A = this chain, B = another copy of it.
Amino acid sequence: MVRWQPGTSGRLQAAALELFASNGYEQTTAAEIAQSVGLTERTFFRHFSDKREVLFHGQELMVDAFLAGLVAAPGEATPMELVAAALESAAELFPDERRGHSRLRQSVIEQNPALQERERHKMSVLAATLGDALRGRGIPEPAATLAAESATTVFGVSFTQWIGAGEQRSMVEIERTVLAELRNLTAARPAAKA
């Protein structure tokens, strides 16, 4: 199971989020983040290349969590079973106690177009990596890309619900509901064309 990084990195990340949210992302320096938890700027830069990476250092973890689900799935799994397995595995990175952190992070990203672009890039890397992994398991095109993009879409919609005000359901519970909704939506046959 993939886990968020504990220790100094985690403390710096929590401190950075608080400062970004209260003082603004642009206005916050790496030195201020470090000082707020009694560390030096030098220590900050041993953990993160810049303040933006505090928000995105979990990217590899997230991709790894999706991939771990694919690797653990049985060999005969269909593309959508693989998608479901990847989503269930990724949900482990979003336990209920992480919800406040994720809400705060999202509120910071929504206030800054450059961070939104970085987030889009993260999601496009996730979709591309999942596509590669599905092709690596013998899923042909375009099924592999469609499944990878669908996994990313379901994750995105589920994440938005999960951090919604008053939401109580777990990430995995939401993901299962959204994935079922996608199935129902696409399974409805279109009317015959004239």
Contact = CB atoms under 8 A, between A and B. Distances in A.
Interface of A: 78-81, 84, 117, 120-121, 124, 142-143, 145-147, 149-150, 153-154, 156-157, 161, 178, 181-183, 185-188, 190-191
Given A117-B117, A153-B150, A187-B186, A178 B81 contact: no
A85 to B, nearest CB: 9
Interface core residue of A124, A145, A146, A191 (most chain B CB under 10 Å): A146
Chain A interface, DSSP helix/strand/loop, else mixed: helix
Given A81-B191, A149-B156, A187-B187, 10 more contacts: A79-B185, A80-B190, A81-B190, A84-B190, A117-B121, A142-B178, A146-B185, A149-B149, A150-B182, A183-B187
